[in-house]
C-alpha cells in the first residue's frame, strides 16, 4: 500500500450537504512492514469491522465519506502526533512526545498491546519505522479529513462532522471503565459538549432513541483526536463521535455480519438522511 492509497474518499452522488463522515478504524489492508508477533486473527479484533459499509449510504445523501484503508493497530489516525509511546522505540524519539491515558493503556499513536493486553510486538520499532507510518499513513488520513471539512465549511459556512466507530459489546482488560461491562447500543461523544453544539448531540441521540436504541453520551467514550482537532462550534464546525455496538450487526468471534446487519445499516441510512436534512436547514 502506498501513501496515496492510505484512504478512500467518496464524493457526494446527490446534491452536496454540509456533512462529512469519516471511518478511521475500518481499514483491512495490512502493510508488509508491520511484522507483529500475534496472529492476524487477533489483530483483526481491533478493526471497526464494516463500519465503512454501514455508512456507505452517506454520499447518496450528499455527504462526503472518508475511510482509512490501513488498520488502527499499525498506526491510529485518531491519535495526536504527540501520543508517541517511547517505550516501543529502540532509540530516543527525536520529536516531541506527550503521553496520554491512551499511551499508558498501550493504545497510543502506535499500539503496543491489543485489547486483551497481549503485546503486539516481540521487538522494538525503529525511529524510521515510526516516522514512515506517520508520514505515509497517519498524516495523509488526517489531512484528508481536514481538507474535506475545510472545503465543506468554505462552501456552506458550516459543517457537521461524524466520526464513525464501533465498540465491542463488552469492555476489555484495557478499557477505561474496567473489564466485563456491557456497552449500550450507541455512545455519542462530544468531549463533554466542546466539539459541537449540544443541539446536534441531542438531535442524533433523539433519532437513535426513537429507533429503539439504548443511547449514552460521553460514557464511556467522549471522542478522541479527530473530533478534538477539527472542531470549533463557535465557527460552525461541529464534530460528533458515534460508536455503534458490534453485537448489533457483527458476530464478534467470526467477524462476519450477523442477522442484525441489514437493520443496523438501514437505521444508520435513516439517521444520515435526517442528518443531511438537519445540516442543510441549519446552514441556511
Domain that holds residue 221: 3-74+143-282
The per-residue b/e assignment along 147-163, b for 16 or more CB within 10 angstroms, e otherwise, is ebbeebbeebebbbbbb
Q: Is the pLDDT of residue 145 over 70?
A: yes
Q: Is the pLDDT of residue 144 over 60?
A: yes
pLDDT (tens digit, 9 = 90+) per residue, 180-212?
A: 999 999 999 999 999 999 999 999 999 999 999
Q: Is the pLDDT of residue 158 over 60?
A: yes
Instruction: Kindly indicate the confidence band of residue 175, based on its pLDDT and cuts at 50, 70 and 90.
Output: confident
Distance CA 146, CA 115 (A): 29
* Reduced DSSP (H G I as helix, E B as strand, rest coil) percent helix, strand, coil of the chain, to 5: 35, 20, 45
237 domain-assigned: yes
117 domain-assigned: no
pLDDT at res. 3: 56
Integer-rounded Cα radius of gyration of the chain: 18
Instruction: Kindly indicate the confidence band of residue 45, based on its pLDDT and cuts at 50, 70 and 90.
Output: very high
113 domain-assigned: no
pTM, entire model = 0.96
186 domain-assigned: yes
Average pLDDT, the chain: 96
231 domain-assigned: yes
Distance CA 140, CA 196 (A): 24
Q: Is the pLDDT of residue 14 over 80?
A: yes
DSSP 68: E
Instruction: Kindly indicate the confidence band of residue 4, based on its pLDDT and cuts at 50, 70 and 90.
Output: low
Range from 2-6, 65-69, 126-130 carrying the lowest mean pLDDT = 2-6
Q: What is the mean pLDDT of residues 243-253?
A: 97
For the chain, how many structural domains are there in total? 1
CATH number of the domain enclosing 40: 3.40.630.40
17 domain-assigned: yes
Q: Is the pLDDT of residue 99 over 60?
A: yes
Cell of 103: 499511551
pLDDT at res. 1: 56
* Strand-strand pairing, 19-23 and 64-68: parallel
For 105, the 3-state DSSP assignment is helix
Cell of 106: 498501550
105 domain-assigned: no
Instruction: Provide the percentage of residues in the chain whose pLDDT is more than 70.
Output: 99
87 domain-assigned: no
Amino acid at each position: 500500500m502506498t501513501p496515496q492509497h492510505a484512504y478512500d474518499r467518496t464524493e457526494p452522488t446527490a446534491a452536496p450537504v454540509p456533512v462529512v463522515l469519516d471511518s478511521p478504524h475500518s481499514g483491512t489492508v495490512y502493510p508488509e512492514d508491520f511484522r507483529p508477533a500475534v496472529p492476524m486473527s487477533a489483530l483483526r479484533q481491533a478493526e471497526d469491522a464494516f463500519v465503512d459499509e454501514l455508512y456507505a449510504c452517506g454520499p447518496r445523501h450528499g455527504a462526503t465519506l472518508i475511510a482509512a484503508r490501513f488498520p488502527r493497530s499499525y498506526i491510529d489516525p485518531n491519535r495526536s502526533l504527540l501520543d508517541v509511546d517511547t517505550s516501543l522505540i529502540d532509540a530516543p524519539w527525536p520529536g516531541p512526545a506527550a503521553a496520554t491515558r491512551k499511551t499508558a493503556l498501550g493504545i497510543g499513536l502506535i499500539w503496543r498491546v491489543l485489547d486483551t493486553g497481549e503485546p503486539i510486538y516481540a521487538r522494538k520499532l525503529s525511529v524510521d519505522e515510526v516516522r514512515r507510518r506517520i508520514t505515509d499513513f497517519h498524516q495523509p488520513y488526517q489531512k484528508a479529513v481536514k481538507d474535506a471539512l475545510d472545503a465543506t465549511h468554505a462552501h456552506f459556512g458550516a459543517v457537521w462532522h461524524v466520526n464513525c466507530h464501533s465498540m465491542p459489546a463488552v469492555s476489555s482488560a484495557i478499557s477505561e471503565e474496567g473489564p466485563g461491562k456491557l456497552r449500550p447500543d450507541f455512545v455519542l461523544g462530544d468531549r463533554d459538549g466542546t466539539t459541537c453544539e449540544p443541539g446536534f448531540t441531542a438531535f442524533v441521540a433523539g433519532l437513535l432513541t426513537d429507533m429503539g436504541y439504548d443511547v449514552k453520551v460521553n460514557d464511556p467514550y467522549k471522542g478522541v483526536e479527530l473530533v478534538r482537532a477539527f472542531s470549533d462550534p463557535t465557527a460552525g464546525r461541529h464534530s460528533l463521535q458515534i460508536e455503534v455496538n458490534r453485537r448489533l450487526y457483527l458476530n464478534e468471534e467470526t467477524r462476519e455480519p450477523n442477522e442484525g446487519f441489514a437493520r443496523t445499516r438501514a437505521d444508520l441510512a435513516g439517521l444520515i438522511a435526517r442528518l443531511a436534512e438537519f445540516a442543510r436547514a441549519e446552514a441556511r
